[in-house]
């Protein structure tokens, strides 16, 4: 298979959207209860590194960099 075909296939099967960042994709896939817990953590000014650790502990893949970019508004989400 050529690189072009491989890239097209990857684009088709990717779970990430081109319109929102990795954090927003992760958030959109949370249960309503988990969204509420995460929203409450941000409202209480919980440090990002603690939130990321808790997400990972629950088996939710995310990175501190993507979370911080989303919080600062420098991600690819619509502004």
pLDDT value, residue 8: 84
pLDDT value, residue 16: 58
Question: What's the domain count of the chain?
Answer: 1
**pTM of this prediction exceeds 0.75:** no
Contact status, residue 30 vs residue 38, Cβ threshold 8 Å:
yes
Segment 5-25 shows an average pLDDT of: 79
3 domain-assigned = no
Distance of CA 36 to the CA centre of its chain: 16
Half-sphere CA count of 78, side-chain side, radius 13 A? 2
8 domain-assigned = no
pLDDT value, residue 70: 92
11 domain-assigned = no
pLDDT value, residue 9: 80
46 domain-assigned = yes
Gap between the Cα atoms of 38 and 54, Å rounded: 10
The set of residues, in sequence order, having a beta carbon less than 8 Å from that of 66 and lying 6+ positions away, is 21, 22, 23, 75
Range of the domain at 42: 17-72
């Amino acid at each position: 298979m050529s690189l072009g075909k491989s890239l097209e296939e990857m684009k088709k099967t990717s779970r990430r959207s081109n319109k929102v960042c990795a954090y927003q994709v992760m958030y959109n896939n949370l249960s309503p209860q988990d969204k509420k817990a995460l929203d409450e953590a941000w409202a209480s000014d919980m440090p990002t590194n603690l939130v990321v650790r808790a997400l990972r502990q629950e088996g939710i893949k995310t990175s501190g960099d993507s979370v911080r970019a989303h919080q600062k508004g420098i991600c690819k989400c619509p502004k």
